[in-house]
Amino acid sequence: MLLFLLIFYYIWRIVINPNLSQLGTENAFVILAKAEKLKQQGKDIINLGIGQPDFRTPEHIVEASIKALKDGKHGYTPANGILKLREAVSKDILLRRKVDINPDNIVIVPGGKVTMWHTILMFGAAGKEIIYPNPGFPIYESVINYTGAKAIPMKLSMDNQFNIDIENLKSLINKNTSLIIFNSPSNPTGGLISKKDMQEIVLLLEQNPHVHILSDEIYSRITYDKEDFESMLSFPQIKDRIILLDGWSKTYAMTGWRVGYSVWPDSLVKISERLNINSFSCTNAPAQYGALAALEGPQECVKIMTSAFDRRRKLIFEEVNKLNGFKCNISKGAFYSMPSIEDTGLSSDKIEDILLNKLGITTVSGKSFGVFGEGYIRLSYASSDENIKKAMFRIKEFIETIGWHNA
């Protein structure tokens, strides 16, 4: 056994690229796998962990993909995606962001992570620094570390409504900063960059012309309380340095379809296309026709889902703040709440473990989203009202009968 381990270590260190050891994971999938095992053992599991709408993909989208298959549209497409889809994306950006984008600057990709990978690969290298939100989507930090760049966390805190501290951001930027990642609305915090803050951020970016920007706007259609979503793409003074990430997964309940898009400045778009060719060739053809139907078809499905999420976020906010040891803000966007659990006296990982293994509730430890996520857990309200109520009842009953420190 020892010999086997030594051989494995030798292969890992000598043969395999050592940068691969820097890759992290997305813990929501790890928790999901644990939950599935518990389900197989007969345990009743309530899923508040995974960031996936609990709605079916609208029927007209499904039918469009089936028709594409039946019509023989199942071969390779251009590496940057079918022209009709890129034109539809361009029209949608003009409608919702009031920005005119050439379809040639739009690249269709199999999900948002591809845009993260491509952007961070372009700007990440030894000696470079990349600023990213923390707590934030874990793949940002994972890929930054893989490239050899230095990952610089931009702290988000519930004390500040998970808004960006402009002065803190200013202090993080230096001559080695190659890229800053923004995510609004935010996974995992549910925060939203306000118009005022966005204007201050853009002013700061104007003062640092050597810095490029990745704006992750995958939740741009999911906002509440008439909050105005402000896209970074709408600021012409920095438009030549912005990479936009968006897609269909969250808005149209198409997570497993793996189809998204990115917008690139002229200087980078051909590099992105070449990365596509060197990795996955092109995005799944029938999925692209489904995405086209999503943009060109009725949008009532988006309103229905967002209305349900709005109702659930209010329910989460009300019920979580009744729990001893928990407190949270009301989310402004996406479908996540990130309560503080500091008053329980336990770590984020311990709370996650208790909720899953003792109460049958999947959540994600705040620590999974970075060093500044300690003291929080993420709850996804992309789950039914009934499930949310059941979960809150289980937690309340547990606190009253057993208590956190007796678990």
Instruction: Tell me: do 211 and 323 sit in the same domain.
Output: no
Of the two residues 52 and 261, the one the predictor is more confident about is 261
Residues 279-290 have a mean pLDDT of: 96
Number of domains into which the chain is organized = 2
309 within some domain: yes
Residues 296-321 have a mean pLDDT of: 96
- pLDDT tens track for 372-385: 999 999 999 999 99
Task: Decide: helix, strand or coil at residue 226.
Answer: coil
Average per-residue pLDDT for the chain: 94
pLDDT at 17: 81
Residues 132-140 have a mean pLDDT of: 97
Concatenating the DSSP letter of every residue in 170-219 gives HHH--TTEEEEEEESS-TTT-----HHHHHHHHHHHHT-TT-EEEEE-TT
159 within some domain: yes
pLDDT at 168: 97
- pLDDT tens track for 144-170: 999 999 999 999 999 989 999 999 999
- pLDDT tens track for 78-128: 999 999 999 999 999 999 999 999 999 999 999 999 999 999 999 999 999
Instruction: Tell me: do 218 and 321 sit in the same domain.
Output: no
Instruction: Tell me: do 342 and 362 sit in the same domain.
Output: yes
320 within some domain: yes
CA pair distance 377, 323, nearest whole angstrom? 14
Domain boundary among 246, 269, 296: 296
404 within some domain: no
Instruction: Tell me: do 225 and 322 sit in the same domain.
Output: no
Instruction: Tell me: do 281 and 309 sit in the same domain.
Output: no
Instruction: Tell me: do 244 and 346 sit in the same domain.
Output: no
Instruction: Tell me: do 318 and 261 sit in the same domain.
Output: no
- Cα separations in angstroms, 266 against 84, 164, 199, 269: 20, 29, 24, 6
Query: Please, which pLDDT band fits residue 9 given cuts at 50, 70 and 90?
Result: low
Tokens of 30: 């790890």
pLDDT at 2: 65
pLDDT at 404: 87
| pLDDT of 35 above 90 | no
Of the two residues 353 and 17, the one the predictor is more confident about is 353
Q: What percent of the chain has pLDDT over 90?
A: 86
Count other C-beta atoms under 10 Å from residue 389's C-beta: 13
| pLDDT of 223 above 80 | yes
Where residue 331 sits, what CATH number does that domain have?
Answer: 3.90.1150.10
pLDDT at 306: 96
Where residue 129 sits, what CATH number does that domain have?
Answer: 3.40.640.10
Instruction: Tell me: do 170 and 206 sit in the same domain.
Output: yes
Residues 269-277 have a mean pLDDT of: 96
pLDDT at 29: 84
Task: Let me know: does 177 contact 211? Beta carbons within 8 Å.
Answer: yes
Query: Please, which pLDDT band fits residue 228 given cuts at 50, 70 and 90?
Result: confident
63 within some domain: no
C-alpha 386, offset from chain centre: 25
CA pair distance 323, 396, nearest whole angstrom? 6
Task: Let me know: does 189 contact 377? Beta carbons within 8 Å.
Answer: no
Task: Decide: helix, strand or coil at residue 316.
Answer: helix
Task: Let me know: does 44 contact 391? Beta carbons within 8 Å.
Answer: no
64 within some domain: no
Task: Let me know: does 265 contact 236? Beta carbons within 8 Å.
Answer: no
Identify the helix (H) or strand (E) that includes residue 365: strand 364-365
Instruction: Tell me: do 122 and 180 sit in the same domain.
Output: yes
| pLDDT of 227 above 60 | yes
67 within some domain: no
Instruction: Tell me: do 23 and 113 sit in the same domain.
Output: no
Domain containing 228 equals 75-296
279 within some domain: yes
Task: Let me know: does 233 contact 261? Beta carbons within 8 Å.
Answer: no
Instruction: Tell me: do 38 and 114 sit in the same domain.
Output: no
Determine how β-strand 336-337 pairs with β-strand 377-380: antiparallel
pLDDT at 1: 57
Give the strand order in the sheet containing 260-263: 106-109, 260-263, 242-247, 212-216, 177-183, 129-134, 150-155
Domain boundary among 277, 296, 315: 296
Instruction: Tell me: do 177 and 202 sit in the same domain.
Output: yes
Query: Please, which pLDDT band fits residue 21 given cuts at 50, 70 and 90?
Result: confident
Length of the chain: 407
Domain boundary among 274, 296, 318: 296
